[in-house]
């Protein structure tokens, strides 16, 4: 697991993304307990304070919530909330980037749309 | 938060040679610090002063609020594991563990036994008959089991292979999580330890060049690569700290957090955008790569 951490981006952000990913693909259900900060630290061989910062990032966004003396849990409605957030990011991350690359390669808009349709059938 | 170590204008000279040059920093309690820099940067000299093994030429030094020299109360709270630690020839591994137990008030005998098993230490063998890797393992076991409020590891893994080093990092994180204390890892193997660190102190030629939260540094610099004119357009008005040339392309290293506008501008200019790792940034700051002056560096 250790090599899954990328040293070019803040680690707490990456921990937050991992948890988000687990919620999105159903590995972590709503109202389920998430691993403790120390478990994240051991798993990824990272500083516990950094792991805590990643978890708190999601607490601030209302994705996780704290049960006193028990631990962190996935908040109800967080799956839908994350989907919404990821869909917004999708445009910036994929659509805009794809169009820039297409322009560079001289692919016309019409051609690009055809390619997307072809891709949608095969993938 | 209170500080475990507070250093003010600390300097060490040997004749004309200044090894540590007016350094000031503090180390907060309960955090893992990295003391990073190239070999010969002055890291070990700083640590020897902190642990009262050598005197500072000038400057102020406090450990847990007191001067450490001949101060048993302070020194019993410090465990300093040195690279190439020397041991009396006649001592066996278990003698070292017993001696450590008598010295460190918070020594955990059961934990020391478990660690010795993990590192497969031959307890009855004499220290002089140990391999380099085993000698390092003894240091690691002592350092972890001491549970000292200030534990310092100075390049603790001479002769240890990847598996042994990984075991050290695993045990360190686990035990630190359960028993938080101040830990200083002094090393030039930045890539391996950077994830473990909460705060980074970078030393270059006896001077402190960086004193910063480790995760903050991961978003501190980036590079853009492309034709010279396009790169110059992009870097105008930004903090350029380095550059490299590859044929007709140049790569500029910029300090700062790249925002969405930066990325858009780079994309519009057809420049390739790359994030910079903590290790790359530190290598750059400590002059690890010969930089040719290909761009006007401000």
- Residues in chain B predicted with pLDDT less than 50, given as ranges, are 289-294, 296-298
CATH number at residue A32: 1.10.10.10
Q: What is the pLDDT of residue B221?
A: 86
Look at residue B292 in the predicted model and tell me its pLDDT: 41
The shortest C-alpha distance from B170 to chain A (Å) reads 6
For the cut 70, the answer to whether the pLDDT of residue A2 exceeds it is no
A68 & A21 share domain: yes
DSSP letter for A95, please: I
Q: Which long-range contacts (CB under 8 A, 24 or more apart) does A21-24 make?
A: A23/A63, A23/A74, A23/A78, A23/A79, A23/A82, A24/A79, A24/A82, A24/A83, A24/A86
Same domain for A33 and A92? no
> Looking at domain B3-217, which CATH architecture does it have?
3-Layer(aba) Sandwich (3.40)
The pLDDT value recorded for residue B58 is: 96
Any B CB within 8 A of A45 CB: yes
Q: What is the mean pLDDT of chain A?
A: 91
Asked if the B221-285 domain carries CATH number 2.60.40, the reply is no
Q: Which domain holds residue A42?
A: 2-76
| A84 and A35 assigned to the same domain | no
Q: Are residue A62 and residue A10 in the same domain, yes or no?
A: yes
pLDDT in tens, B20-67: 999 999 999 999 999 999 888 999 999 999 999 999 999 999 999 999
Contact across the interface for A50 and B215, Cβ inside 8 Å: yes
Choice between A86 and A2, residue whose per-residue pLDDT is larger:
A86
My answer on whether A50 and A103 are in the same domain is: no
For B169-196, write each residue's pLDDT tens digit: 999 999 999 999 999 999 988 888 999 9
- Tell me, what's the ipTM? 0.79
Residue A47 has pLDDT above 60, yes or no: yes
CB B243 within 8 A of CB B250: yes
Domains B3-217 and B221-285 share a fold: no
pLDDT, position B1: 55
The pLDDT tens digits of the residues spanning A6-30 come to 888 899 999 999 999 999 999 999 9
Which of B31, B196, B215 faces A45 most closely, judged by CB atoms? B196
Mean pLDDT of A56-82: 95
pLDDT, residue B297, reads: 47
| Closest-CA residue of chain B to A8 | B277
């Amino acid at each position: 697991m250790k090599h899954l951490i990328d040293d070019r981006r803040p680690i707490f952000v990456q921990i937050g993304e991992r948890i988000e990913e687990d919620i999105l693909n159903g590995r972590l259900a709503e109202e389920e307990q998430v691993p403790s900060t120390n478990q994240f630290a051991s798993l990824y061989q990272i500083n516990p304070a950094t792991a805590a910062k990643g978890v708190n990032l999601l607490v601030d966004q209302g994705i996780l919530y704290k049960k006193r003396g028990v631990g962190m849990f996935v908040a109800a409605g967080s799956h839908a909330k994350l989907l919404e957030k990821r869909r917004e990011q999708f445009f910036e991350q994929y659509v805009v980037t794809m169009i820039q690359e297409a322009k560079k390669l001289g692919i016309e808009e019409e051609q690009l749309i055809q390619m997307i349709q072809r891709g949608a059938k095969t993938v | 938060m209170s500080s475990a170590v507070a250093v003010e204008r600390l300097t060490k000279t040997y004749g004309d040679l200044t090894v540590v040059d007016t350094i000031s920093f503090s180390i907060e309690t309960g955090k893992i610090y990295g003391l990073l820099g190239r070999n010969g940067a002055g890291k070990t000299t700083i640590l020897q002063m902190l642990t009262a093994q050598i005197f500072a030429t000038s400057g102020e030094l406090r450990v847990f609020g007191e001067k450490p020299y001949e101060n048993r109360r302070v020194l019993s709270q410090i465990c300093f594991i040195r690279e190439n630690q020397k041991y009396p020839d006649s001592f066996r591994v278990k003698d070292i563990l017993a001696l450590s137990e008598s010295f460190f008030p918070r020594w955990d005998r059961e934990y020391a036994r478990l660690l010795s098993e993990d590192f497969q230490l031959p307890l009855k063998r004499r220290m002089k008959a140990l391999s380099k890797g085993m000698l390092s393992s003894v240091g690691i076991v002592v350092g972890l089991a001491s549970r000292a409020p200030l534990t310092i590891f100075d390049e603790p893994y001479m002769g240890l292979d990847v598996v042994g080093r990984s075991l050290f990092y695993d045990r360190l994180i686990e035990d630190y999580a359960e028993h938080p204390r101040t830990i200083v890892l002094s090393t030039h193997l930045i890539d391996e330890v950077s994830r473990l660190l909460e705060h980074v102190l970078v030393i270059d030629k006896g001077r402190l060049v960086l004193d910063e939260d480790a995760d903050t540094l991961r978003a501190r610099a980036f590079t853009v690569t492309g034709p010279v004119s396009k790169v110059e357009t992009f870097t105008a008005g930004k903090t350029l700290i380095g550059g490299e040339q590859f044929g007709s392309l140049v790569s500029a290293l910029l300090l700062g957090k790249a925002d969405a506008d930066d990325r858009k501008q780079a994309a519009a200019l057809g420049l390739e955008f790359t994030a910079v790792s903590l290790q790359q940034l530190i290598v750059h700051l400590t002059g690890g790569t010969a930089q040719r002056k290909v761009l006007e560096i401000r």
